[in-house]
Amino acid sequence: MAEAFEEWLDKHGGKKHASLDLVKELPNGDRGVVATAPIAEGELLLLLPINCALYMPNDEEWAKRGSSFPEAVGYLHEHHRTLSPFLATTLALMSEVARGGESAWAAYVGTLPPSCPDCLLNWSKEEKKDLEGTALEELGPDPAADAFKRHVAPILAARRDLWPLQQQGEGEGGAAADEAAADLALFVRVAGLVQSRAFHLEAENWVSGAKEISKLEGGGTQVFLLPGIDMINHSHNPARRNAHLQRLNVAQAAAAKLTEGGAPEGVEAFFVMRADKPIAEGEEVLHTYGNLSDAQLLQTYGFLDSEDGFAQLPGGAASGSGSQPPEAAAEEEGGNGGKKGGKKRGKAGASAAKGKEEAEEGAGYRNPYNAALVPWEAVEDVCCGLMKSMDQGLPAALKRAKREFLAAAGVLQVAAPEATQFVLLAREPLPDELLTAVQVLLMTKEEFNELKREHGGEQAAAGGSAAGKKGAAGKSPIKGAAGKGKKGKGGAAAAKEEAEVDKAGEGKEAAALPKLSLGTALLEEDEDFAEMVCIATLQVLKSCVERYPSTSKEDVRLLKSSECTGRQRLAVRVRLGEKDVLQLAQKAVVELLRKLREGEPIGKDAGEEEEEEEDEKPQGKKPAKGKAAAKGKPPAAKKRRGLGAEASSDEGGMEADAAATAVDEEEDDDGLLAGSDDSERVGYGADEFDDGIGEAHDRGKAHEAPKASE
Ligand SMILES: C[S@@+](CC[C@H](N)C(=O)[O-])C[C@H]1O[C@@H](n2cnc3c(N)ncnc32)[C@H](O)[C@@H]1O
């Protein structure tokens, strides 16, 4: 199989390093690319002419060399242009698989595994129950069966010559049922392969130049199957990675002396895999599939990282494993790529030690790129409930106006604001969007109207341009606002209030406003408001923690038990990872509140402010509160709200609330989350296509290209 592939590659002008085994069986039963002799840094590992890749061409490519694409690709290009790139590439590979020995890609098809075993596509309903509450919880119909029925089956039926029927046995329900079952089975198999092997790259003009490939963008992507290159496994650990992918145009490939004797006819570009560092004999070639959370890794690739070096990173997480025994995971170490330092070092050392201990006990490695999702609905419910408890219930029109305003101001997604999910990251557990949304929801009608006027006003002054605008942070949109502590209104008053929702900003919501980022300026000015915002945020986070059927402690216990194996273990690790992030967010809120109460500077420039404060402060004088104080202004007058009447008359009120809502201290501080410094925001935003399947990249934000130093 490897020889047939190498012959095929050679025939098409591709190259493979002589000292590489592309299909080496690894100790864990998987296959990987392994060096059979030492390879020097910079050496070419694989060169793949673009004509060997399976993908949907853009119009320009099609015009230039349409005839070199498989027939199925041509058919899809001509007749199904709105199909998602993922489904189109899946159908392209299905055609080559179904055509067997007749396919021009038969040698490549021969290198493919039977399936992507643990990809979610292959999980039963029962197994998926363990993912309840996570980003991977399936709420609608089975996405694969749904995509098959809606998009794939009609295409197969229309062109049986391109997608010949697979061999079927005699089954119940007659020949038609058998055909459909065989088609669906092939689709699920191939979709799993494409999902776990394809590269999602920005569509670009090939002739324009080389490009680092790991940078993926939400829009305008092409989904490429890159034979041979797709044999390389992933590592989260920069210290273990030793290869990276580039695409080069013909001139660049020639300049790099990759195509002596000239490029094969009709080839405009190459995919190139090179050694980033020396690779020892017997060492596996590894690169990165992206900075992906556990949920994204599981959904797309059917595995969770079971390595490796984060225990060694200063401030790093412990090693451990989802699928291998914890003892083995705890033994595996390596890597030293972390850059954390400063004040956190002392604690990090202790955390790493504690983390290692936990790994040994079986708690497992936790991914520093993990994320948790907070649905808008939860935020709205909690905030509206809180306002109601203060006799300031939000009438429907005001609720709608706030939602529309937040969408126009870039805090909620525009197309379907209600479907927004705030993405909390281990490295940024309290995103500004979430704090901003909570603040806006907790504003009285008057405050909200004033915010709208100020924020809309900025837009008018800027000629409607949202680019580079700062938002309303630090401007106190509620300064001088009336209506604090308003008492309850009956139905008629509420109806009047609906009618009173300020018309000033109306219509502006439709247009894009500058991005709204309230930060903490308002919280620093108004202690009661700050307490409300913190309580509400803690309640929101608590409601998110409660959506899981188990607690973190139970999950850790499960991971420690030898019975928790296979897919159940993967699922438990995903939900524990999400809960870790929610716990970090809870801690961040409690810390924010503490700082606000103690008048400590907050935010990125806190250090600078502290210094400024030090310089300006007369000797022996107590530091004043907040930013205003830091800038030499008197602290803002304390403001009172409905809730504040109780909470602030009882000095322990907030602590009690926070304690009731916040972190289980026994469970926190496991020190397992801090790790690499290059965690990037990853999310699960709006789907571009309504396939409902595919991979994390179609649903998420771009991942940063690995830094040069990696
Ligand atoms: C692009 S393929 C890599 C080649 C694959 N190992 C093979 O034998 O064909 C991606 C698949 O390899 C496996 N894989 C890659 N990196 C892995 C890792 N770090 N740990 C476990 N499995 C991994 C997963 O099954 C994943 O879906």
What are the distances in angstroms from CA 95 to CA 10, 48, 103, 106, 194?
23, 21, 8, 11, 13
- For the chain, give percent helix, strand, coil, nearest 5: 45, 10, 45
Q: Are 511 and 428 in contact (CB under 8 A)?
A: no
DSSP calls for 316-345: PPPP--SSS-HHHHHH----------GGGH
Pocket test for ligand 1, best of 196, 232, 245, 304 (most atoms within 8 A of CB): 196
Query: How confident is the model over 378-406, as a mean pLDDT?
Result: 93
Fold of the domain spanning 2-286 = set domain protein methyltransferase, domain 1 (3.90.1410)
Give 568's pLDDT tier (boundaries 50, 70, 90).
very high
Q: Ligand 1 center to residue 233 CA distance, Å?
A: 5
Whether the per-residue pLDDT at 665 is higher than 50: the answer is no
Give 286's pLDDT tier (boundaries 50, 70, 90).
very high
pLDDT digits (tens, 9 = 90+) for 156-185: 999 999 999 876 555 556 666 788 899 999
Among 114-123, 203-212, 377-386, 396-405, where is mean pLDDT lowest?
A: 203-212
What ipTM score was computed for the predicted complex, to two decimals? 1.00
pLDDT digits (tens, 9 = 90+) for 16-31: 999 999 999 999 889 9
Q: Are 94 and 264 in contact (CB under 8 A)?
A: no
CA distance 503 to 79: 48
Q: Ligand 1 center to residue 51 CA distance, Å?
A: 24
pLDDT at 391: 85
* Sequence-distant contacts of 465-472: CB under 8 A, at least 24 apart: 466/410, 466/512, 466/513, 466/514, 466/515, 469/514, 469/515, 470/514, 470/517, 471/409, 471/514, 471/515, 471/516, 471/517, 471/518, 472/516, 472/517, 472/518
Identify the residue whose C-alpha is closest to ligand 1 atom 13.
Answer: 233
Q: Ligand 1 center to residue 235 CA distance, Å?
A: 10
Q: Ligand 1 center to residue 280 CA distance, Å?
A: 21
DSSP calls for 247-303: EEEHHHHHHTT-STT-PPTT--EEEEEEESS-B-TTPBPEE---S--HHHHHHHHS-
Please give the residue that has the higher pLDDT: either 4 or 648.
4
Whether the per-residue pLDDT at 326 is higher than 70: the answer is no
3-state secondary structure of 26: coil
Give 603's pLDDT tier (boundaries 50, 70, 90).
low
CATH 3.90.1410.10 domain residues, the chain: 2-286
Q: Ligand 1 center to residue 382 CA distance, Å?
A: 42
Whether the per-residue pLDDT at 552 is higher than 70: the answer is yes
Please give the residue that has the higher pLDDT: either 649 or 81.
81
Q: Ligand 1 center to residue 295 CA distance, Å?
A: 16
CA distance 428 to 140: 30
pLDDT digits (tens, 9 = 90+) for 673-700: 222 222 222 222 223 444 545 443 333 3
* Ligand 1 cavity residues, CB under 6 Å: 30-32, 113, 116, 196-197, 230-231, 233-235, 301-303, 305-306
Pocket test for ligand 1, best of 213, 300, 303 (most atoms within 8 A of CB): 303
Atom of ligand 1 nearest to the CA of 119: 27
Mean pLDDT of the chain: 73
Atom of ligand 1 nearest to the CA of 28: 21
Whether the per-residue pLDDT at 366 is higher than 80: the answer is no
- CB atoms under 10 Å from CB of 29, counted, come to 7
pLDDT digits (tens, 9 = 90+) for 508-550: 444 588 999 999 999 998 999 999 999 999 999 999 999 999 9
Atom of ligand 1 nearest to the CA of 23: 8
Give 222's pLDDT tier (boundaries 50, 70, 90).
confident
Q: Are 532 and 643 in contact (CB under 8 A)?
A: yes
pLDDT at 498: 39
pLDDT at 2: 85
pLDDT at 617: 38
Query: How confident is the model over 59-87, as a mean pLDDT?
Result: 92
Atom of ligand 1 nearest to the CA of 301: 27
Pocket test for ligand 1, best of 25, 28, 119, 234 (most atoms within 8 A of CB): 234
pTM of the full predicted structure? 0.73
Q: Ligand 1 center to residue 182 CA distance, Å?
A: 26
* Per-residue b or e along 650-663, where b marks 16 or more CB atoms closer than 10 Å to that residue's CB: eeebbbebbeebbb
Whether the per-residue pLDDT at 622 is higher than 90: the answer is no
Tell me how far the alpha carbon of residue 10 is from its chain's centroid: 38
Atom of ligand 1 nearest to the CA of 235: 19
Identify the residue whose C-alpha is closest to ligand 1 atom 20.
Answer: 305
Identify the residue whose C-alpha is closest to ligand 1 atom 23.
Answer: 233
Whether the per-residue pLDDT at 89 is higher than 60: the answer is yes
Of the ranges 65-69, 167-171, 491-495, the best mean pLDDT one: 65-69
Q: Ligand 1 center to residue 28 CA distance, Å?
A: 11
Among 124-138, 181-195, 528-542, 599-613, where is mean pLDDT lowest?
A: 599-613
Identify the residue whose C-alpha is closest to ligand 1 atom 14.
Answer: 233
pLDDT at 273: 96
Nearest to 469 by CA among 513, 514, 535: 514
Atom of ligand 1 nearest to the CA of 113: 9
What are the distances in angstroms from CA 193 to CA 68, 73, 529, 575?
23, 18, 51, 25
3-state secondary structure of 503: coil
Query: How confident is the model over 663-679, as a mean pLDDT?
Result: 31
Q: Ligand 1 center to residue 706 CA distance, Å?
A: 19
Give 265's pLDDT tier (boundaries 50, 70, 90).
confident
